[in-house]
A = this chain, B = another copy of it.
Amino acid sequence: MPTPLCADGKLRPTYEDIHKLIDRSAAYIKADFDPDLMVLISGGGLIPGRIMRSFLKRPSELDPTRLRNIPTQAIGLSLYEEVAGMVEGSIGKSVTRTQWISEKALLGHKDPSKKVEEGKDAGGLVGKKILIVDEVDDSRTTLQYAYQELYNDVRQALSSMSEQERAAVPATKFACFVVHNKRNIKKGKLPILNENNHIAGDGAAPANNNQPVERIENGIVEGIRYYAGEDTENEWIAYPWESEDITEHNRLAADARKKAGQK
């Protein structure tokens, strides 16, 4: 069920709406991609990513009867906001990193301080199925930046490895999930692998669920799988975590649902 418009033209998903959207999306993403780890774009991706984590658990390597969370990293990017220490002219012109993945988190398997047992996962991003998570895909600029930079980091990490080491890791794969995708003209570009089946929102298989063709280039699958909880028009989305009065937010959301004939 699409999020209904409120009387003031805004979309007001509730926490429950978003939790359910992610629940349904996760089932699809788990079957289609089964991520090894998540990279959350802060601050928007923090809440969706934390909810998503609950639905992407895996059996523990140490005790397969128990489920464990998949590893999660947060990255900070700043497009819209001023960053302390930047002069006025440089704001908005480019994306600024405010937090990033450490070399250790990128190259877990190469860290000599870690004791890695034969055949066990050594951590790191290299050789993993990486799911990038954000709140909304508006202009696509943040997502493009996050993907490009992570791709470049993995590429560089791979080139620092020996031939033998590279042969031992599977191809690194990228996917991204956003709660809402706006049907906008996108300023940012992403080489989307599954262009016509990116919506997992209602849990139904998308119209075209053929597996995309994966082409491996230098140890990385080229392109990115794209998943969105819901497509929207270019409306203002008022997220519950931004609300200064959550009771009123929920009242307006319930009004909109009633008016749209949803229960």
Interface residues of A, Cβ cutoff 8 Å to B: 14-16, 19-20, 23, 40, 42-43, 46-47, 49-51, 53-55, 60-62, 68-69, 71-74, 76, 81-88, 90-91, 98-102, 105, 108-109, 111, 114-117, 120-124, 240-244, 246-247, 250
With contact pairs A42-B72, A85-B116 given, residues A240 and B15 touching in the complex (Cβ less than 8 Å): yes
Assembled-state Cα–Cα distance A115/B90 (Å)? 9
- Residues in B with CB closer than 8 Å to A100 are 102
Expressed in whole angstroms, the Cα–Cα distance for A76 and B115 within the complex equals 19
Across-interface contacts of A72 in B (CB, < 8 A): 42-43, 76
Please name all residues of chain B whose beta carbon is closer than 8 Å to the beta carbon of A108 when the two chains form the complex: 84-85
Alpha-carbon distance between A121 and B241 when the two chains are bound, in angstroms = 27
Among residues of B, the one whose C-beta sits closest to the C-beta of A18 is: B15
Determine the distance from Cα of A86 to Cα of B46 in the docked complex, in whole angstroms.
26
B246 contacts A19, C-beta separation under 8 Å? yes
Nearest-neighbor residue (CB-CB) of A66 within chain B? B82
B120 touches A19 (CB 8 A): no
Verify B115–A20 contact, CB threshold 8 A. Answer: no
| A86 CB → nearest B CB, Å | 7
Q: Across the interface, name the chain B residue whose C-beta is closest to A61.
A: B82
By a CB distance below 8 angstroms, the chain B residues around A243 are 19, 54
